[in-house]
Homo-oligomer: A and B are copies of this chain.
Amino acid sequence: MQKAKRLPAIEKIIAEENISSHEMLLKKLKAKGINCTQATLSRDLRQLGAGRVSDGKGGYKYTMPESSNSTLSVSNRLQVLPVVCDIVDAKGLLVIRTLPGNANNAAIYIDNSSRYEIAGTIAGDDTILVIPRDGITNHQVHTCLELILPGLHEKIKGK
């Protein structure tokens, strides 16, 4: 299962370069040692919530949502990760524990991602409650959070 590596790689590539087709993305991934088919990219791009916008030169390019929003950019979102202590599933919800005073800040990252899977979050001082949308499995939320904060899954209790 290379999806876990592929998704962040795709995200990074389309954020940094002008990708105008699946074909082109396929080659960029191959150059990074990641092989898959166009069909898989189609599914990945949809899952990532990637869009296709004008490249300003009369053509189109793929893009990540809110890529203009610096709080979400690939390069700096890892900053939030060190404050996360652990994650526990509870009653269909997720509880994320952070360093004291950091819950709100971390929750903002999650909210800003505007992921469909997450209905919303409530943050206290050192605890975030993540409320998944109806019909979303815990596992889907984990995958989703891993997208928002790569490396996060290592913090999941019992893993």
Interface residues of A, Cβ cutoff 8 Å to B: 46, 49-54, 56-60, 63, 65, 114, 116
Contact with A65, one of B49, B54, B57, B116 (Cβ below 8 angstroms): B54
Instruction: Sample 15 A-B pairs with CB under 8 A, ordered by A number.
Output: A46-B54, A46-B59, A46-B60, A49-B53, A49-B54, A49-B56, A50-B54, A51-B51, A51-B52, A51-B63, A52-B53, A54-B65, A54-B116, A57-B116, A58-B116
* Alpha-carbon gap, A53 to B50, bound state (A): 7
CB-CB < 8 A to A56: which residues of B? Answer: 49, 114, 116
In the complex, which of the residues A49, A54, A59, A63 has the most CB atoms of chain B within 10 Å of its own CB atom? A54
